[in-house]
Amino acid sequence: MNRRDLIEIIYQLQQTEEKLNKEIEDLRAELADRRIRISESGSVAEAALSLNHVFEAAQAACDEYINEMKARAGELPAAGNTSAPQVIRAARQADPGQQPETRNDEQKN
């Protein structure tokens, strides 16, 4: 081999080395990007689980409220099944010291 052939071989090796170094650099950047994505996806999954627990607690509070309102509604006489005098009697029995206002009382004032 002459000197020119050796220089050509060295030049090609340098070109190959530069190309491989660039490829290594690109692969490292891609790997870092994937690690970030995996890390973020874990964070998103954890956030979704946390939100799920918040929604479960909110649903439980709503259910409890609805059940309490239904229970209270059961204590009151049904509007369609009672007349005004029956409601007044029930109110007087519940609090005998309290006299409900009537329309006649309002007109006198």
Mind listing the pLDDT tens digit of every residue in the chain (109 residues)? Answer: 899 999 999 999 999 999 999 999 999 999 998 888 877 777 777 888 888 888 888 899 999 999 888 888 776 655 556 677 777 777 777 766 655 555 555 455 4
pLDDT in the model for residue 18: 95
| 30 in a structural domain | yes
For residue 62, the Cα-to-chain-centroid distance in whole angstroms is 15
| 83 in a structural domain | yes
| 64 in a structural domain | yes
| 17 in a structural domain | yes
pLDDT in the model for residue 109: 47
**Total count of domains within the chain:** 1
| 107 in a structural domain | no
Domain that holds residue 49: 3-94
- Please give the Cα distance from 17 to 104 (Å, whole number): 105
Tell me the pTM.
0.40
Phi, psi of 82 (to 5 degrees): -130, 150
pLDDT in the model for residue 75: 67
What DSSP state is assigned to residue 65?
H
| 45 in a structural domain | yes
| 102 in a structural domain | no
| 59 in a structural domain | yes
